[in-house]
Amino acid sequence: MRIGVIASIAHRLPPVGYGPWEQVASTLTEGFVAAGHEVTLFATADSTTTARLHPTAPHGYEESPGLDAKAWEGLHNAAAFERAGEFDVLANHFDFMPLTYSRLVDVPVVTTIHGFSSAAILPVYREYDDVARYVAISDADRHPDLHYTATIHHGVDPAAFTFVPGPGTYLLFLGRIHPAKGTHAAIEVARRAGQRLVIAGIVQDQAYFADRVAPLVDGEAVTYVGPVGPAERDSLLGGALALLHLIDFEEPFGLSVVEALATGTPVVATPLGSMPELLRQGVTGFLVKDVEAAVAAVAEVATLDRRVCRDEALTRFSAERMVRDHLRVLERVVGESRT
């Protein structure tokens, strides 16, 4: 197939630091190329790929204050749709705006919804529901008003994560530092469980960090290491006793959760959003309703079989499986559009 991939231009591909949408789009793009397809990637100019790169914004707009996000988003989406005739299908990984161009071209567009930033953007998804082919990233994230063509869980490259057979020596929080991500809950659970906690990730909510996180970071019981790149991420995940993912929102998918599993590290998580789809209770981690249950889970987590966690990542959450699932959808949509 001739596939045009519309990536997010918030960050480059693959992302250097934060960038889950960009990470998934990058993994898919490389996978499509490896599977022998003719792929054009619409992404920032500083992205790297084995596909043909159609560069739009010079850098990710989240990383370059001089770039107007709206202006570059318009140029970026337009570039893809102006070249639509060259593709059999467009794979949209950049939110709702590409939908608004989709009726102006003949090529089918498959839109993977990486999450709803707000209910206020739903009018666009509803308007294009009849023509769009929506892919959900978890069943939990399916919106009842919309029709989906598939649910495809994210996958990670198992080679990028080193399996560590024995349980680690600290608990890990890995993600955006934000109340919804439960950084404060992780600190409390670690303290009550008598375990060290390492916190890694970008600070998304400065006031929250200053009020509820920073005062408890002492460099011993609680350490904050900032945002981490792929290598440090791998070693932090692999060396942990468990990943604490005590979210307070319906998370559509938790990439760090399956990355932890890929290193053999089990996960203690709140049963919200996609978590019950990603974790097997008492096998690859524990779904816990409150701090008390989380503390109890931490006491048991070393008994879980880390090999089973790794195997779960290899079978259910590998990049290969994700690429295959997306290709199956793209092929089906191309086939339908030709009949």
Residue with tokens 């709702």: 96
Choose which of 34, 45, 75, 299 interacts with its own copies (CB under 8 A). Answer: 75
Choose which of 17, 55, 74, 276 interacts with its own copies (CB under 8 A). Answer: 74
Residue with tokens 């009949």: 339
Of the listed pieces 41-49, 122-130, 142-150, 258-266, which binds its own copies according to CB under 8 A?
A: 122-130
71 Cβ partners below 8 Å, 6+ apart?
none
Choose which of 48, 50, 100, 337 interacts with its own copies (CB under 8 A). Answer: 100
Cβ neighbourhood burial of 312 (10 Å; 0-12, 13-18, 19+)? buried
The answer to whether 127 touches 145, Cβ cutoff 8 Å, is no
Residue 120 as a binder of its own copies (CB under 8 A): the answer is yes
Least distance to its own copies, CB of residue 13, Å: 20
Least distance to its own copies, CB of residue 219, Å: 39
245 strand-pairing partners:
269
Residue 87 as a binder of its own copies (CB under 8 A): the answer is no
Residue 123 as a binder of its own copies (CB under 8 A): the answer is yes
Least distance to its own copies, CB of residue 62, Å: 14
Residue 121 as a binder of its own copies (CB under 8 A): the answer is yes
Choose which of 6, 67, 136, 172 interacts with its own copies (CB under 8 A). Answer: 67
Rounded-to-integer distance, Cα 321 and Cα 328, Å:
11
Residue 8 as a binder of its own copies (CB under 8 A): the answer is no
Give the interface size with its own copies as a residue count (CB under 8 A): 26
Least distance to its own copies, CB of residue 112, Å: 18
Least distance to its own copies, CB of residue 54, Å: 14
Binding site for its own copies (CB under 8 A): 66-68, 70-72, 74-75, 77-78, 81-82, 96-97, 99-101, 103-105, 118, 120-121, 123-124, 127
